[in-house]
């Protein structure tokens, strides 16, 4: 076993946020599950990661019932479930130690959000020497408002604003930023075939 699948923040916290209706991949569980099944079949490691934001009182608050994997995803005995408080999955967890102890050299990254926790984890993993496969269609993201946009608008207005970066542009930007530098960009189908 020298591979690990990272399932990053595929949790219910996102589904109760006002921007969930604009999710690029609301059926993300259907893309992640076949990868989980394959990694289990091959005896490779599956690592589940949940994001928390202590002190916020919102859906990412530790202890919130929303800080749970989405329906259809269930860790098996022996599969680590890590809880992080940073954008990347390494800084506030023992992920690096866990991967080292298991002899992992190659990672597949899936999860929410494409350009935040998934991309940040990928960049750090590459810097740490891991080969990384970024499974782009097993990630999800949301429209991003321009830095100069008016704050606290209803998300429907944010999504309709022509200065907002749409989800397809976010996905494309992430592919361009990571490909050949930090990761191999792949799809679920391609990754399962490799």
Please give the radius of gyration of the chain, using alpha carbons only, rounded to the nearest integer: 16
Tokens representing residue 7 in the block = 């399932």
Note whether 70 and 32 are within 8 A (CB).
no
Note whether 118 and 134 are within 8 A (CB).
yes
Mean pLDDT of 94-107: 97
When pLDDT is cut at 50, 70 and 90, the band that residue 162 belongs to is: very high
DSSP 167-187: HHHHHHHHHHHHBTTTBEEE-
Q: What is the pLDDT of residue 107?
A: 98
Inform me whether the pLDDT recorded for 1 exceeds 90.
Answer: no
Angstrom distance (rounded) from CA 127 to CA 124: 5
What range does the domain containing 58 cover? 3-193
Angstrom distance (rounded) from CA 128 to CA 77: 28
Sign of CA dihedral 48, 40, 192, 5: positive
Note whether 12 and 68 are within 8 A (CB).
yes
- Find where tokens 């298991």 sit: 102
Q: Residues 182-192: pLDDT tens digits?
A: 999 999 999 99
CATH code for the domain in which residue 60 is found: 3.40.50.850
Nearest to 175 by CA among 107, 88, 114, 108: 114
Q: Please state the domain count of the chain.
A: 1
Inform me whether the pLDDT recorded for 40 exceeds 80.
Answer: yes
Cβ neighbourhood burial of 132 (10 Å; 0-12, 13-18, 19+):
buried
Q: What is the pLDDT of residue 10?
A: 98
Inform me whether the pLDDT recorded for 148 exceeds 80.
Answer: yes
Tokens representing residue 154 in the block = 């209803």
Beta strand 131-140 with 184-186 is parallel
Percent share of the chain, pLDDT over 90: 97
pTM: 0.96
* Paired residues of 50 in beta bridges: 83
* Paired residues of 132 in beta bridges: 107
Nearest to 143 by CA among 170, 176, 123: 170
């Amino acid at each position: 076993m020298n591979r690990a699948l990272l399932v990053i923040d595929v949790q219910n916290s996102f589904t109760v946020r006002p921007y969930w209706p604009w999710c690029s991949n609301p059926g993300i569980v259907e893309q992640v599950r076949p990868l989980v099944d394959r990694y289990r079949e091959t005896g490779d490691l599956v690592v589940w990661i949940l994001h928390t934001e202590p002190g916020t009182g919102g859906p990412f608050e530790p202890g919130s019932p929303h800080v749970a994997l989405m329906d259809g995803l269930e860790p098996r005995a022996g599969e680590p479930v890590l809880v992080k408080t940073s954008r990347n999955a390494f800084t506030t967890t023992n992920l690096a130690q866990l991967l080292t102890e298991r002899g992992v050299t190659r990672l597949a990254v899936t999860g929410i959000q494409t350009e935040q926790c998934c991309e940040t984890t990928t960049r750090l993993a590459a810097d740490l020497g891991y080969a990384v496969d970024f499974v782009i269609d097993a990630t999800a993201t949301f429209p991003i408002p321009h830095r100069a946009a008016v704050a606290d608008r209803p998300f429907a207005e944010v999504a309709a604003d022509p200065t907002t970066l749409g989800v397809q542009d976010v996905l494309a930007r992430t592919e361009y930023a990571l490909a050949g530098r930090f990761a191999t960009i792949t799809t679920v189908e391609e990754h399962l075939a490799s």
